[in-house]
Protein backbone atom coordinates (compact mmCIF):
# COMPACT_ATOMS: atom_id res chain seq x y z
CA UNK A 1 0.00 0.00 0.00
CA UNK A 2 1.15 3.52 -0.76
CA UNK A 3 1.93 5.98 1.99
CA UNK A 4 -0.56 8.84 2.27
CA UNK A 5 2.05 11.41 1.22
CA UNK A 6 2.59 9.67 -2.14
CA UNK A 7 -0.97 8.70 -3.00
CA UNK A 8 -2.50 10.54 -5.95
CA UNK A 9 -6.13 10.01 -6.76
CA UNK A 10 -6.22 9.87 -10.54
CA UNK A 11 -8.36 7.92 -12.95
CA UNK A 12 -11.94 6.75 -13.18
CA UNK A 13 -13.22 3.39 -11.97
CA UNK A 14 -16.65 1.78 -12.07
CA UNK A 15 -17.34 -0.71 -9.28
CA UNK A 16 -20.51 -2.52 -8.29
CA UNK A 17 -21.77 -2.31 -4.73
CA UNK A 18 -21.78 -5.74 -3.15
CA UNK A 19 -24.75 -7.26 -1.30
CA UNK A 20 -23.74 -5.36 1.88
CA UNK A 21 -23.51 -2.01 0.10
CA UNK A 22 -19.70 -1.94 0.01
CA UNK A 23 -17.65 -0.60 -2.88
CA UNK A 24 -14.04 -1.45 -3.67
CA UNK A 25 -11.46 1.33 -3.64
CA UNK A 26 -8.81 1.04 -6.39
CA UNK A 27 -5.64 -0.52 -4.96
CA UNK A 28 -3.57 2.57 -5.85
CA UNK A 29 -5.89 4.70 -3.70
CA UNK A 30 -5.79 2.58 -0.56
CA UNK A 31 -4.16 4.04 2.50
CA UNK A 32 -3.45 1.87 5.50
CA UNK A 33 -4.90 2.99 8.77
CA UNK A 34 -7.83 2.31 11.01
CA UNK A 35 -11.52 2.95 10.89
CA UNK A 36 -10.94 6.70 10.51
CA UNK A 37 -8.53 6.71 7.55
CA UNK A 38 -10.84 8.50 5.09
CA UNK A 39 -13.48 11.19 5.62
CA UNK A 40 -16.48 11.33 3.29
CA UNK A 41 -18.69 14.39 2.95
CA UNK A 42 -21.78 15.04 0.83
CA UNK A 43 -20.94 17.35 -2.06
CA UNK A 44 -23.55 19.91 -3.20
CA UNK A 45 -23.07 18.57 -6.73
CA UNK A 46 -24.93 15.37 -5.79
CA UNK A 47 -21.97 13.08 -5.11
CA UNK A 48 -19.68 12.14 -2.22
CA UNK A 49 -16.21 13.61 -1.78
CA UNK A 50 -13.70 11.39 0.01
CA UNK A 51 -10.68 12.96 1.69
CA UNK A 52 -7.49 11.10 2.68
CA UNK A 53 -5.61 11.83 5.94
CA UNK A 54 -3.48 14.59 4.40
CA UNK A 55 -6.56 16.54 3.32
CA UNK A 56 -8.36 15.79 6.59
CA UNK A 57 -5.45 17.44 8.43
CA UNK A 58 -5.88 20.56 6.31
CA UNK A 59 -9.63 20.52 6.94
CA UNK A 60 -9.05 20.10 10.68
CA UNK A 61 -6.88 23.23 10.71
CA UNK A 62 -9.63 25.26 9.08
CA UNK A 63 -12.36 23.83 11.30
CA UNK A 64 -10.37 24.47 14.47
CA UNK A 65 -10.01 28.13 13.45
CA UNK A 66 -13.77 28.59 13.84
CA UNK A 67 -14.49 30.40 17.08
CA UNK A 68 -16.25 28.29 19.68
CA UNK A 69 -18.36 31.34 20.54
CA UNK A 70 -19.49 31.82 16.91
CA UNK A 71 -22.90 30.14 17.05
CA UNK A 72 -23.42 30.35 13.28
CA UNK A 73 -20.06 28.74 12.50
CA UNK A 74 -20.65 26.00 15.05
CA UNK A 75 -24.11 25.35 13.64
CA UNK A 76 -22.74 25.11 10.09
CA UNK A 77 -19.99 22.73 11.19
CA UNK A 78 -22.53 20.56 12.99
CA UNK A 79 -24.76 20.49 9.91
CA UNK A 80 -21.88 19.47 7.65
CA UNK A 81 -20.25 16.89 9.88
CA UNK A 82 -23.53 15.29 10.97
CA UNK A 83 -23.75 14.07 7.36
CA UNK A 84 -20.10 12.98 7.19
CA UNK A 85 -18.73 9.48 7.57
CA UNK A 86 -15.24 8.23 8.43
CA UNK A 87 -13.99 4.79 7.46
CA UNK A 88 -11.09 2.63 6.44
CA UNK A 89 -10.77 -0.16 3.89
CA UNK A 90 -11.23 -3.79 4.85
CA UNK A 91 -8.65 -6.40 3.76
CA UNK A 92 -10.23 -6.59 0.31
CA UNK A 93 -10.10 -2.80 -0.14
CA UNK A 94 -13.83 -2.26 0.32
CA UNK A 95 -15.50 0.63 2.09
CA UNK A 96 -19.02 0.95 3.39
CA UNK A 97 -20.58 4.39 3.03
CA UNK A 98 -23.44 5.17 5.37
CA UNK A 99 -27.03 5.31 4.10
CA UNK A 100 -27.17 9.13 4.24
CA UNK A 101 -24.25 9.46 1.83
CA UNK A 102 -25.52 6.74 -0.52
CA UNK A 103 -28.92 8.45 -0.60
CA UNK A 104 -27.38 11.91 -1.13
CA UNK A 105 -25.43 10.63 -4.13
CA UNK A 106 -28.21 8.37 -5.45
CA UNK A 107 -25.83 5.41 -5.43
CA UNK A 108 -27.27 1.94 -5.86
CA UNK A 109 -25.94 -0.85 -8.02
CA UNK A 110 -22.80 0.73 -9.44
CA UNK A 111 -20.60 3.60 -8.32
CA UNK A 112 -18.08 5.63 -10.29
CA UNK A 113 -14.95 6.61 -8.39
CA UNK A 114 -13.28 9.66 -9.92
CA UNK A 115 -9.93 11.05 -8.84
CA UNK A 116 -9.24 14.75 -8.52
CA UNK A 117 -5.59 14.36 -7.50
CA UNK A 118 -5.78 15.17 -3.77
CA UNK A 119 -9.12 13.46 -3.02
CA UNK A 120 -11.73 11.48 -4.92
CA UNK A 121 -15.43 11.54 -5.65
CA UNK A 122 -17.96 8.73 -5.61
CA UNK A 123 -20.85 9.21 -8.03
CA UNK A 124 -23.86 7.14 -8.96
CA UNK A 125 -23.28 5.72 -12.42
CA UNK A 126 -26.37 7.52 -13.76
CA UNK A 127 -25.50 10.96 -12.38
CA UNK A 128 -21.91 10.73 -13.53
CA UNK A 129 -23.00 9.76 -17.03
CA UNK A 130 -25.39 12.73 -17.20
CA UNK A 131 -22.68 15.09 -15.94
CA UNK A 132 -20.26 13.88 -18.59
CA UNK A 133 -22.86 14.30 -21.33
CA UNK A 134 -23.63 17.87 -20.21
CA UNK A 135 -19.97 18.91 -19.86
CA UNK A 136 -18.85 20.38 -23.15
CA UNK A 137 -15.32 21.36 -22.07
CA UNK A 138 -12.44 19.31 -23.34
CA UNK A 139 -9.37 18.44 -21.30
CA UNK A 140 -7.37 21.35 -22.73
CA UNK A 141 -10.09 23.86 -21.80
CA UNK A 142 -10.08 22.45 -18.26
CA UNK A 143 -6.29 22.75 -18.04
CA UNK A 144 -6.46 26.35 -19.24
CA UNK A 145 -9.17 27.21 -16.67
CA UNK A 146 -7.03 25.70 -13.91
CA UNK A 147 -3.95 27.60 -15.05
CA UNK A 148 -2.03 24.45 -15.95
Q: What ranges do the domains of the chain cover?
A: 12-145
**Confidence band for 134, pLDDT divided at 50, 70 and 90:** low
Output the average pLDDT for the chain.
87
Q: pTM for the full model?
A: 0.82
Q: What is the pLDDT of residue 33?
A: 79
Would you state the pLDDT for residue 144? 78
- Smallest CA-to-CA distance from 90 within 24, 41, 29, 38 is with 24
Which CATH superfamily includes the segment(s) 12-145? Answer: Transcriptional regulator MraZ domain (3.40.1550.20)
CA distance 67 to 24: 38
Mean pLDDT value of segment 114-121: 95
Instruction: Give me the pLDDT at residue 2, please.
Output: 44
- CA distances, 89 to each of 25, 29, 36 (Å): 8, 10, 10
* pLDDT above 80: residue 143: no
Lowest mean pLDDT among 16-20, 69-73, 143-147: 143-147
Strand partners, 48: 42, 122
Higher pLDDT, 49 or 34: 49
Is the pLDDT at 1 greater than 50, yes or no?
no
Amino acid sequence: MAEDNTTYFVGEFVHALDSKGRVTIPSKWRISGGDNTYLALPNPGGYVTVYPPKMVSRLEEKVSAASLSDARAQSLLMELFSKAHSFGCDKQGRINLNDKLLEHAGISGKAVLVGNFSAFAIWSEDRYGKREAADERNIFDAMRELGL
